Amino acid sequence: MADGLSALHDLLVTGQSGVSGPAGVRLTEIRARTVTQFAAWSGTVAQAGAEAAKAAGVQTAPGPGQAATGANGTLLRVEPLKWWLISETEQPVMLSDELGATLDVSQSRSWLRAGGPQSARLLNHVLPIDLSERAFPERSVASTAFHHVGVTLWLDAQDFNLFLPRSFAASLCEILIETARQYGLEIT
């Protein structure tokens, strides 16, 4: 697991800004994790999903738009034929060529966690999806667009996790920071 230079290292300066009082939004960059992509061929979704589930340590692979957490990490269903396994260690598991392809995408994404009571409201400024608890409950996953850039969003037990393409991460993060200041922003 390579821990390269963050695309956000100059932007995410620890501290508070915006309105005074308690911060409504908390932004944190998550680093030192491995993101392994399991991509199935169109006729092998069930078998590839079973292998991805085994790698994550969960009973079954999550369905579209869902996440499941197991002993070895969290498995996100990011697209109809793809899962991402997020773990603290590198995953030696590889799909056979007959089932699909496995790829380490850790360095292709910047992982930004948005928490706090106003985090859904902040994200609704920039993402074209309904983030209400009814429409986007815990363990939901969405591949969506942020200013015409494809991003992945996952809601864990407490916070929203935004996976930004590394080449666009700085500019998208600037937008989030400026928008979050109206709610009170804490960068941790």
Angstrom CA distances, 17 to 8, 20, 117, 121, 184, stand at: 17, 8, 16, 17, 6
Please name the fold of domain 15-32+108-187: Gyrase A; domain 2 (3.30.1360)
What's the rounded Cα separation, in Å, for the pair 98 and 95?
Answer: 8
Give residue-wise pLDDT tens across range 9-49.
777 878 888 888 899 999 999 987 899 999 999 999 999 99
Give residue-wise pLDDT tens across range 155-179.
999 999 999 999 999 999 999 999 9
Give residue-wise pLDDT tens across range 54-107.
999 999 999 999 999 999 999 999 999 999 999 987 767 788 999 999 999 999
Query: What confidence score (pLDDT) does residue 2 get?
Result: 46
Model confidence, pTM = 0.91
- Higher per-residue confidence, 8 vs 5: 8
- Higher per-residue confidence, 78 vs 1: 78
What's the rounded Cα separation, in Å, for the pair 59 and 57?
Answer: 7
Q: Is the pLDDT of residue 4 over 80?
A: no
Region 109-134 average pLDDT: 96
Query: What confidence score (pLDDT) does residue 20 get?
Result: 87
Report the interhelical angle of 169-180 vs 119-126 (nearest 10°).
Answer: 130
Domain ranges of the chain: 15-32+108-187, 34-106
Q: Is the pLDDT of residue 141 over 50?
A: yes
DSSP string of the chain? ------TTTTT--SEEESSSSS-SEEEEEE-S-EEEEEEE-TT-HHHHHHHHHHHHT-SS---TTBEEEETTEEEEEEETTEEEEEESS-------TTTEEEEE-GGGEEEEEEESTTHHHHHHHH-SS--STTTS-TTBEEEEEETTEEEEEEE-SS-EEEEEEGGGHHHHHHHHHHHHGGG-EEE-
